[in-house]
Structure 1
């Protein structure tokens, strides 16, 4: 049996799509140099993919972005000239190279990403709340319908904290622990104090933090701080509900362990509560053990605090 031809699309529907495309590209300035920078939109998309993927190969980027191989090769050569990317042989295919954004590449991309966020915020700021929700729902519907049948891709990266991140960390702790465990404002105040001390006293030789992102959106954090010359402390591990179940909490913890060992700390310690079962499972699976446990009242709750440590 011959398959039926697809139904003809009415001309008015085609015109509607083209009209929307003209409107939206003009609204966001996509035909101009990207956000007033020296880059084209395509170049920024390549930078974005390199910043949010774990060492992709060029053919993978080309497929995802729908780029001609020669055009992509010219963009990558330009980035190499600027020392924004590095190549390493692929263990899976000697004909391919793994691409990695260098520190200079991340530094070049970071202000573009922040400016893009600022532009999006500016676009939304002039829209009343109810209409804004309608707009975002419509965008979500468009993405879902146009992406029907395509596999969902959620790209997780860990990056260094940037200005504005610590405020997000405090907000996330206050919101998540209130909604999920009933902690009151005292807990948010404690987290704010920890975050402020980290920012004031940060010593990059002995301390480090990570922000987890999925598809460019912040979803988690963790920090290592110096407690003594031989002891480091893991602090402010948080993971949003939508990012759980993917091993990201373990990745954040592993980064802390690796960093502490690289700095020749003898122990990595942390403080948590006995009812935080998911976090406790991560710590236990990595060799941490409880060295102190005591009941106490805090944050509007009756709890049992625990001190854990890992010998490095």
Structure 2
């Protein structure tokens, strides 16, 4: 372990783990006074989600050892907290559901947990609460290895988000392609011109959002009365190959056609393979290419077009 960057990152994660474990321990003081362990409460909570589940589903969803879970469920059944019935689709499995007594046992624990969390949030301003929730969602999204097939919403940017797009895309392209600060300057000029002078009837910008987190964007600006250009097109790295880029480009095409443009264009550096494939799938063709010195690198900049 000689890579200093990897070591720094690993220590940062360990530091956060220690802090969060200590913080969660404080939140669970009330729970420690009950007759249920933290794991038992997690299982009870999972069973309150409105549908009967098998032991295999519970073990998978909660990351529990199947043998340990089996003993826990046997204890629940003995205390009349759950019922089991044969699954109609798989006779080898039993469907587990909470009894009325199980719901009654869990309800005060849930109420206490919510009260404890609210007491923590009350120490923060409203803006800080939303910042915390956003950070938690980001951690969950980045560490969750399950497919992220949640609903993607396209909406207009809110106050502060145009500046955030400049920051995020400058950071992302610096990290992935080593582009320098001149790219940030280009982004800032695009945003400044758009926010001050754009025609809201013929130009627009979309934020792609999932679970209140920004996962992509696209901006459509007029070049002339007949030609429009897509700019600020990007997708978060962990959300790529899920169709979000296609959704954004298709929305640009629909909007441009609806307001009367006859051609849509997009400039791409030839090294951006994912963006080039996205354009090809969306019906664009490469109309021109030229070598240019941009963003600290010798690039080939391509102009992609699609007739509407």
TM class, shorter-length: 0.5 to 0.7
1:202 CA displacement: 1.6
Deviations 1:150-206 (A, max 9, x none): 997623111111111111110121011011111011111111111111101121111
Does residue 311 of the first structure (1) align with residue 299 of the second (2)? no
Deviations 1:64-118 (A, max 9, x none): xxxxxxxxxxxxxxxxxxxxxxxxxxxxxxxxxxxxxxxxxxxxxxxxxxx9654
Deviations 1:7-54 (A, max 9, x none): 658xxxx9987754432133446xxxxxxxxxxxxxxxxxxxxxxxxx
Does residue 239 of the first structure (1) align with residue 249 of the second (2)? no
| Aligned partner (choices 274, 294, 297) of residue 298 of structure 1 | 294
CA root-mean-square deviation: 3.4
Structure 2 gaps, min length 5: 1-69, 77-105
Bigger Rg over Cα: 2
Match of 2:131 in 1: 121
Match of 2:246 in 1: 250
Match of 2:172 in 1: 176
Aligned ranges 1:31-180 → 2 under 5 Å: 117-121=127-131, 154-180=150-176
TM-score, normalization by structure 2? 0.59
Task: Give the Cα separation in 1 of the matches to 2:126 and 2:252.
Answer: 30
TM-score, normalization by structure 1? 0.58
User: SS of the residue aligned with 1:6?
Assistant: helix
1:6 CA displacement: 2.5
Residues 205 and 18 of structure 1, relative CA distance in 2, 3 Å threshold = closer
1:212 CA displacement: 0.4
Match of 1:228 in 2: 224
The count of corresponding residues between Structure 1 and Structure 2 is 205
Structure 1 gaps, min length 5: 30-114, 125-131, 145-149
Give the 4+ runs in structure 1 shifted more than 4 A: 14-20, 115-118, 150-153
Match of 2:119 in 1: 26
User: SS of the residue aligned with 2:280?
Assistant: helix
Task: Give the Cα separation in 1 of the matches to 2:119 and 2:255.
Answer: 46
